[in-house]
Structure 1
Amino acid sequence: MLGSLALPLLSAPAASATAPSGATVTRPCEQPGPWNVHASAVTIRAKASAKATAVGILYPGHDFTAHPAAGNWVAVTDHSTGVSGFVSGTYVYRGTRICLD
């Protein structure tokens, strides 16, 4: 019969599993990518509807800002032409990033 082995008990303060309040943990790979035009051209419309009047055309390479709007529509301002309106989110969307850790 083997004798039992006694190990000393060590105590250490418990580590907190939460971040300090007010701390925001964000890494560049967690941020959404920039908005891009994923078509040869996209019609900019006056309202968020395929039946709305066309007010311009957004091309890849144009400088524009975008914000999600109703449904699958994106509100855009094309700084290259000065036109504002709505485009389908099927053709204009943000790239995704992946954290590899």
Structure 2
Amino acid sequence: MKKLLREFEDVMPDELPRKLPPKMTVDHEIELVPGTKPLARAPYRMSQPELVELRKQLKDMLESGIIKPAKSLNGARSYFRRRPTTPYVCAQTIGR
């Protein structure tokens, strides 16, 4: 995977776009199954500098409209992937 990412590094953006793409014709949603419980997983532990960077990036994405506050009781873990220049935030969805 690392070899593939390095090979196509020139087409990968260094920063996230500041705007969302145009609205699509299909809205995706997560359908909940009545009576099921959310999966319990421990959060990913971050160092203090990672936590500061996460909060900064989330604040920037909220202000630019790329993300919005969740209304779901469930969520996804966030973690950092390293890049040659700066770390960037990833979200990990949890499946069964």
Q: What is the TM-score of this pair, normalised by structure 2? A: 0.23
The structure where strand makes up a greater share of residues is 1
Q: What is the TM-score of this pair, normalised by structure 1? A: 0.22
Structure number with larger C-alpha Rg: 1
User: Which fold has the larger relative contact order, with Cα–Cα distance below 8 Å and residues 6 or more apart in sequence?
Assistant: 1
